[in-house]
Amino acid sequence: MSSVHGTSVDIPTPDGVADAYVAYPDDGAAHPGVLVFQDAFGLRPSLRALADRIASHGYTVLVPNMFYRAGRAPLFDLPDPIVMAERPDILQGIMPLMMQLTPEVVKSDSGALLEWMAAFPQIAAGPVGLTGYCMGGRLVVYTAAAHPDRVAAGAAFHTGHLITDDGSSPHLVVDSITAELYLAPADNDQSMSPEHIETFAKALDAAGVRHTTEVYEGAVHGYTQSDTEAYNAEAAERHYRELLALYDRTLRQH
């Protein structure tokens, strides 16, 4: 593993400026790019640490504040650890921001992020990898569908609501995806039932998308996030192994 340099950056978008964190090996070379989509709690130290760990394996990793329209991160006064039962008020502030991230908005934002990545000296030429956590998994699907020529791989960990009853359901946009996908829903996740997992997999099969779905048994929604009550160290380590294996086989060949 390489030593890592991390820094804050500002990225212009059609709707303003997104604050972000970028981490890359401290070796002066360009490395394959990875775009990390946050969970609902946003850009914070634990996600920067996650980016550093991925970067240490030879990737340049960007983590944007996808709630930038509401201000710079941190936007919420989060307890440590994050225990939702103790602070139900947090979701009241988060939900409206999540609702703003429609497929059209994500297409616009991700286009700006990918454009910035293509120009960043520490990112090698070629398609990038995506990973998303909780709500971020939806953004992975939307981005891979909107920019198939720019995305070689995408992963979604403990993501829910991939099947919804409205026109923005992620399973409705997968036809254009050319990336390889890895999905790791949590066991007993109320936001992603076994029926929804099967329906999404069938949609990917019908679209001819290369994909793997593995339910992480005994893990709950949010299992990768080290600053939350949901954190599961064993499942989180498995997530890193599978994510890096996905990137190694899809990004290293370019």
Respond yes or no: is residue 134 known to be catalytic. Answer: yes
Catalytic residue selected from 189, 196, 211, 239: 189
Q: Residue 222: CA atoms inside 13 Å, Cβ hemisphere, count?
A: 17
Catalytic residue selected from 134, 158, 171, 239: 134
Distance of CA 55 to the CA centre of its chain: 15
Evaluated on CA atoms 64, 4, 156, 149, the torsion sign reads positive
Respond yes or no: is residue 221 known to be catalytic. Answer: yes
Catalytic residue selected from 31, 57, 196, 221: 221
DSSP assigned state of 80: S
3-state SS track over 165-195: CCCCCHHHCHHHCCCEEEEECECCCCCCCHH
Respond yes or no: is residue 77 known to be catalytic. Answer: no
Which among 112, 110, 101 has a CA at the least distance from the CA of 130?
110
**C-alpha distances in angstroms, 195 versus 96, 188, 224?**
27, 12, 23
Kindly list the catalytic residues. 134, 189, 221
